[in-house]
A and B are shown apart, each in its own frame.
Chain A
Amino acid sequence: MEQQNEIECIRRIVEGETEQFSYFLQRYSRPIHSMILRIVSCREDAEELTQDTFIKAFKKLETYKGDCSFSTWLYRIAYNTAISATRKKRITFPVQDENLINNVPDDAVDILLNNEKDEEVMQKLEQAIDMLNSEERALITLYYMDEKSIIEVASILQFTPDNVKVKLYRVRKKIYALVKNEKR
């Protein structure tokens, strides 16, 4: 039903009722901004990139075919815009030893990532998130914060669902490895 309303709204915008676009701004500007902020880690850049995302979406609105939800389509534009910006700025991220990540036990990861009462752990987790690369940050933001399904995340990031599952599994282990490295 919601998607039908959005498609109807898009049709009206394409036919010239530009003011209808404010509906999408009100609805999506905050979550889109949050995801971009998570990827670029700079408030000013995030605001500008959010604007770019919506302007790009408006320009390409005729090309939206309705094969996925409008939110997925918009998130995909936002993700690509933010990733291009980080590539242009040549932001580098620390590389974690692959062997170290592979040797992390699954149970230990579960315990750490559910230990919300330990302030010290929470602080370390926050620092670990900052050390993830843009793609990994986008992945956890979409999955945990925006509560998108694996299929939606795959559609936004242009991966296969299996690929998303593998990446999420590895990101969790990487966060654990980063927290433990920090503690040493």
Chain B
Amino acid sequence: MDLENQKRVKDITEKHGAENVIVVLGAAEAEAAGLAAETVTAGDPTFAGPLAGVQLGLRVYHAVEPQFKGEVDADVYEDQIGMMEMVLEVDEIIEEMTDIREEFCKFND
């Protein structure tokens, strides 16, 4: 995750408290999604940005995951994400995201 976004996530979390923040990702591949997810939970794995060594443990989901899909209007979802859903490796993404959450997320819901 780039430095700007890392800073934004950090600031928003400081302002509102980790329990009140959810991060939704749109990365095109499981690996990229995993890196971003790891950054907002366990800390920047490259140690180059503001979240280096900072363990926010936030709830983080990818837009194609059922936890997100189930919460939003089906028509809007189909409109905005339907196309990408067909092209992305959804299962791989779900697996990667679930692994990261299991290991690093502070909230168990």
Do these two chains interact? no
